[in-house]
Chain A
């Protein structure tokens, strides 16, 4: 049994934030869940992927976040309780649908989980998605702890049905990837079949309908504001004169800091959990008791703006600060020490700072940059493309493990902004420079957002090569399936879309599929597509070695080693291939047999033929 299906109310379980979110949805009777994976949200979807295989809950990994949101919207229109999970940048993809879904509203409760990533542990930007509340008019809830995340999700479904609108649960990495003790609640039955009542004058957003719906959305905003103003998720603690308004994980830092200062009587804290619409009456009531107010929030000054607006609206003169020199930054994550320091400075308290031991005279720890794994076929693809084009071509790249190709010695990646943007920007680079452009995209990213830019490129007669790195999984986020993956081995349908057929269907006339680990064939293939005038596509197809390990009938391949008396120390293997299973000892090259995947790619670069499988050597 999937561990989140444990039906023992009141039992205390250690849970990851993402598990708590999934459990909260189960306790709310969620019946229909959709997702596109993305750190730090991915583990929520993983729970439902597993649960759907042993229950009547429907789950799917949709091709992208917009499709996921639309799927959930369809089911929610029919009265089902639905959840849709994504990382913050996925929200940008889904937002087109979301902003007008806010107009139609929904029937069954719908919760959209949006996981922000302050500090960009695994992201390309650190946007603050709370502004989607303002943009869409929808309500936003923000938990401050793992246990609260579960309860808040349950409430989010109720709120969604009360407002007949989707509700956004906004988290940050430090909630998603934290663990704590959670008390289990009841698991109700799910309502898995719904009915759709047609009502085109409410659901078909042509201008005449939308003019009415926008009015309805604004009326709903007022209703939500009312709820926010008396919401128990916005809590006040203490009776002091010094006010601190905070949200999310900042609340924990503020609370711990006040305990440490030993001045609980001096402070008053407003923790805002229902952050859009920001509770203006509650904020007014709070600041009225304060001599001065500090707003502690990671990211943008979203609450600070709300508090300042509120003060202006109600004619209050109290000093309000948040972001600014010497105060909080809009950059990165906070930590307990930083919050303590800003509180001390703003309220003029003496601070006994933490005293880290002296470390500046220690030898420096070596950088440990992530690297493409041993046996990764992406490395082989990059080596071949670099062999043909070197630094002459421009290489727009995309989001996935293969983004790591940017590191030396491969150095393959010149421009990276968003899912699908490698293909999208390629024509721009080519037209503006007249240079050879080779764009990279992964298989999952191709289905996510590579199809339309490719169609556009073909239609507009661009001239570039697109390399699709097809390793048969969404590797970066933890090996989720995508439309090009057959998950029949899990007892699920064998459906699998062919990338080659999709590319051909989009009008690309030059398409070659090749196994990049076979270097000579790969080089021929790169030349063949590169010489083509127009849009050409090379599909570099070989499985992700990490994913292969979990597939049925997996057999570990024989690792290779360097036959020391044959090796003449050219080091072509090290300098060109740079596989992490190589290491140097006494200026000689060795292969770590525990790391070698037996892909035999490096073998093809040794002029002395000194890299041999262990077994073969034993026979000889």
Chain B
């Protein structure tokens, strides 16, 4: 069976790499083959962070345009940027809270109308789930738990073959002790939102 190809896109500092790690650990715990690659060149300096997670048989570590079965976007304009990775059967799960790049913040470029863009995208893929995940992360106790909110939504969406219980087990075992409660709460908020 062809591998499920999942792409995570985010802005530096949003916790993309840890989210991919939790996914990978969950896949390992489920005894599923998993291959991942990450790109975070100068992410701490405001750039885009990409993770690719391929679950199932195969040997490639990366995802070509039109091949992503799931696009998990931690920021709406990043969902728009990477939409070309999706095909008509894809599931897009995106945060709607914008993180404008400094060029927008300084009025040098325009931030796109992401609400409109997501509406268009919704008609082109199998399913699009969009919600303010940042607000839920704050509600869970820390904006840093955004990645766990997104994973909660992913687990609930049914787009991948890993149970929510398994995710929660990995969150308990592999995330920082002081954050476990917040992370679990954030994960549950994400599940409720999806």
Q: Is the CB of B83 within 8 A of A363?
A: no
Smallest Cβ-Cβ distance to B174: which chain A residue:
A14
Interface assignment of A440: CB less than 8 Å from any CB of chain B: no
Q: Is the CB of B87 within 8 A of A356?
A: yes
Interface assignment of A135: CB less than 8 Å from any CB of chain B: no
Q: Is the CB of B116 within 8 A of A363?
A: yes
Q: Is the CB of A337 within 8 A of B39?
A: no
Closest Cβ of chain B to A297, distance in Å, is 15
Which B residues fall within an 8 A CB radius of A? 2, 11, 20-21, 24-25, 28, 33-39, 41-48, 58-67, 77-78, 80-81, 83-88, 90, 100-107, 109-114, 116-117, 120-121, 124-125, 143
Smallest Cβ-Cβ distance to A333: which chain B residue:
B62
Which A residues fall within an 8 A CB radius of B? 12, 14, 39, 121-122, 144-146, 174-175, 177-181, 249, 251-253, 255-256, 259-260, 333, 335-338, 353-359, 361-373, 401, 404, 476, 546, 574, 578, 580, 582-584, 594
Q: Is the CB of B28 within 8 A of A12?
A: yes
**A581→B110 CA distance, assembly (Å):** 17
Indicate which residue in A145, A146, A354, A365 contacts B77 across the interface (CB closer than 8 Å). Answer: A365
Indicate which residue in B42, B59, B77 contacts A256 across the interface (CB closer than 8 Å). Answer: B59
Q: Is the CB of B66 within 8 A of A356?
A: yes
Write out the residue numbers on chain A whose beta carbons fall within 8 Å of the beta carbon of B20: 179
Write out the residue numbers on chain B whose beta carbons fall within 8 Å of the beta carbon of A371: 45-46, 102
Closest Cβ of chain B to A326, distance in Å, is 18
**A117→B111 CA distance, assembly (Å):** 31
Q: List 5 A-B contacts (CB under 8 A).
A: A39-B41, A179-B24, A363-B116, A364-B112, A373-B46
**A175→B107 CA distance, assembly (Å):** 39
Q: Is the CB of B86 within 8 A of A356?
A: yes
**A422→B104 CA distance, assembly (Å):** 32
Q: Is the CB of B104 within 8 A of A366?
A: yes
Q: Is the CB of A580 within 8 A of B64?
A: no
Closest Cβ of chain B to A422, distance in Å, is 19
Write out the residue numbers on chain A whose beta carbons fall within 8 Å of the beta carbon of B105: 580, 582-584
Additional A-B contacts beyond A14-B25, A359-B84, A363-B112 (12; CB < 8 A) = A178-B35, A178-B61, A179-B34, A181-B34, A251-B59, A260-B2, A337-B66, A355-B66, A356-B65, A358-B124, A366-B104, A583-B102
Q: Is the CB of B64 within 8 A of A335?
A: yes
Contacts A14-B25, A401-B45 given: A367-B100 contact, CB under 8 Å?
no
Closest Cβ of chain B to A255, distance in Å, is 5
**A348→B111 CA distance, assembly (Å):** 45
Indicate which residue in A145, A357, A367 contacts B83 across the interface (CB closer than 8 Å). Answer: A357
Smallest Cβ-Cβ distance to B25: which chain A residue:
A14
Q: Is the CB of B37 within 8 A of A178?
A: yes
Closest Cβ of chain A to B29, distance in Å, is 10
